[in-house]
Amino acid sequence: MEPTTLTGKTAIITGANSGLGLETAKSFARLGARVILAVRDTEKGQAAEHEIKEETPWAIVEVMKLDLSDLDSVRDFAETFISRFDSLDLLINNAGVMTPPYAKTKDGFELQFGSNHLGHFALTGRLLPLLLHTDNSRVVTLSSLAHRNAAIDFDNLDGSKGYKAMKFYGQSKLANLMFATELDQRLKQHGLSTLSIACHPGISSTNLFKLGSREMPRIFKGLMNRYLQPAAMGALPTVYAATDSGITGGEYIGPDGKGQRRGYPALEKPDSAVNDEATRKKLWDVSEQLTGVTFDFNK
């Protein structure tokens, strides 16, 4: 399924030190891309870089610090990247936290909405000038099956009026999908070549699945590996969304198997909530207000 080359292209992958992000980075490296591992923990990032280079000795890989739960870190990352690189072909908004106990980001947002959506929103907005400067660049944003039956509760985005971890995870993943869709529409309205695509990994065996803060017991890991698809398969929709020549923007890509839980990449229909234009626009406006980042679509 992988195309022949990404030689000469530059890719940023958030959360690239493990799981889906690491597998995506390995694929891109094999295809010849310069890969930036944008990670919160640079030590883990360096271990991932070493792993990639062991498999692909010619890989061009670099670790850069990015904490999506800290808007100052997002700004610093974007400014550093723009000062060093003159193009950006692929931005993979991959990193995510899933169902943690109630917590807030440095800027006071509920952790899942703040990291999964607002951090990526701000990152994309700050990198947009470079993306627009790069012909046929792509932004790929990861959603989840959990977006189905979710809703954006604008009256309780910070969780101060009650918090249920899975409900807020679903909200953050619906926000990811709404953002990807709205971004695609705005890019098209301005006649730009940059594409925005959403995807999801099905149900993959990654380190998102933990029991609280503890590692999962080995017996459960064995069961998961039997019934869930490995991270390398879960990463295929991302690789497909980032590289397939038939992509035109606005697609939602996921596994083609039963319930979209596992399988090979295919076009999917998102939950009908994503088609609510008024909510998408409100989410965009609220996200700009909360992050202080506005999108300039003028090249």
Just list the catalytic residues. 169
Strands of the sheet containing 60-65, edge to edge, are 60-65, 34-39, 10-14, 90-93, 138-142, 195-199, 252-255, 265-267
> Dihedral (C-alpha) 67, 224, 252, 28: value to the nearest 10 degrees?
60
Parallel, antiparallel or unpaired: strands 204-205 and 229-230: parallel
Q: What distance in Å separates the CA atoms of residue 3 and residue 79, rounded to the nearest whole number? A: 31
CA 61 to chain centre: 19
The helix-helix angle for 71-84 and 120-133 (nearest 10°) equals 20
